[in-house]
A and B are shown apart, each in its own frame.
Chain A
Amino acid sequence: MQSVSSMTSMDHFWLIIFCAIVAFIPRFFPLLFFTKRQIPEWFNEWMRFVPVSLFTALVVKSVFVDSKYNIMTSGNLGLIISSILVGIVAYRTRSMTLSVVIGLGAVMIFVLVLHI
């Protein structure tokens, strides 16, 4: 296999094409299948719990798990405090923009200024 040093723009192009195919398959076929068929009631009831579980999973991954899949035991206090802050802001204001802006501000203060 080629490494980045020998990867040309043509390699990158094919990488994008393959990634696009791999990304498209799970987006398309389940959607197609369930829009053509009657969806059982239990499936709808189950699916109501999917988004909230998935979003929590993505948040927990970025706050508590590092890129090598180990639990972060230090250096993420700023992220934890910021996350709680965003949760409070989201709950009180229901505003997406405020949540993101205050979250970014909090992380800048905690991580860049206070280094926690």
Chain B
Amino acid sequence: MKKNEPNWLAVLRTVMPLGLSYIPIGLACGVLLHAAGFNHLLTALISVLVFSGGAQFLIASMLTINAPMTTIILMMFFLELRYALLGSSLSRYLKGQPLPFIFAFAFSMNDENYAVNYLKFATDKHWKPTQALLVEHYSLLFWTVSNIIGSLIGSALTINLSVVDFALTALFIYMAVMQTKSRLTILVCALSGVLTIFFLVLMKSTLGLVVATLIASLTGYFIERHLLARKPESHLLYKVHDPTSQTAMEESDK
């Protein structure tokens, strides 16, 4: 990070890749919501209040298949349960913050800005909660504006949604790769993948995601604890090579 750079610019630089990735996803989401019968104002409202790519795609597709309101809200509940895990894992970096801050932070937290902030908190000791909140607000701005433009474009533009949907997937792959620090993490990823398919097919709901995440992460934790206590020289604890050694540099930078 450059010296003398104003805070708003430094944070914007951090959030820029996410903001740019949000543009195609947000546009597609706006188009979808418009097709589901939302007007521009409602699309803006849902982007600010719900602020979740997955959830908004879900609501739009549920409305187009005439799902009743109670079903949509129930689906939303299970889909959004995973945020409990996200909030818990960020909480250690937000200790001592006042209630209004926690309220504002929780209000605009989602998968993507969580990942940006988690990465910053984990690698940059000078990363502050207020900067993390600013990351959320920048991403909210990118997301809402993209949604509104998508809604305005409406049916005028035909977008293949399975393609645009992949932008979100690519983002998650990137985040998973950036989180992979040891060989054990790769094992946890593989386990999580298998469990996800198993529980999604078994439970027929997004709750399968939560169950798979819980089991895979707990397994990783117990294996690591066992290895550290019994076999500290285990190959599973080896660090994964970083071809750019960027994160190592950032850490030694401090």
Q: Which A residues form the contact surface with B (CB < 8 A)? A: 1-5, 7, 9, 11-20, 22-35, 39, 42-65, 67, 69-71, 79, 82-83, 86-87, 90-97, 99-100, 102-104, 107-108, 111-112
Contact = CB atoms under 8 A, between A and B. Distances in A.
A59 B169 contact: yes
13 contacts: A1-B68, A22-B77, A30-B87, A32-B99, A47-B88, A47-B89, A51-B115, A54-B213, A56-B176, A58-B169, A61-B196, A79-B169, A102-B170
Given A4-B64, A97-B20, A30 B167 contact: no
B168 interface: yes
B97 interface: yes
A58 to B, nearest CB: 5
Contacts, number: 307
A52 B204 contact: no
A104 B166 contact: yes
A63 to B, nearest CB: 7
A94 B114 CA distance: 17
Contact of A83 (B49, B169, B179, B196): B169
- Taking each of B72, B169, B242, which has the highest tally of chain A beta carbons within 10 Å of its own beta carbon? B169
Nearest to A3: B66
B176 A52 contact: yes
A55 B172 contact: yes
B134 interface: no
B107 A24 contact: yes
Nearest to B225: A45
B55 A12 contact: no
Given A55-B115, A65-B200, A34 B91 contact: yes
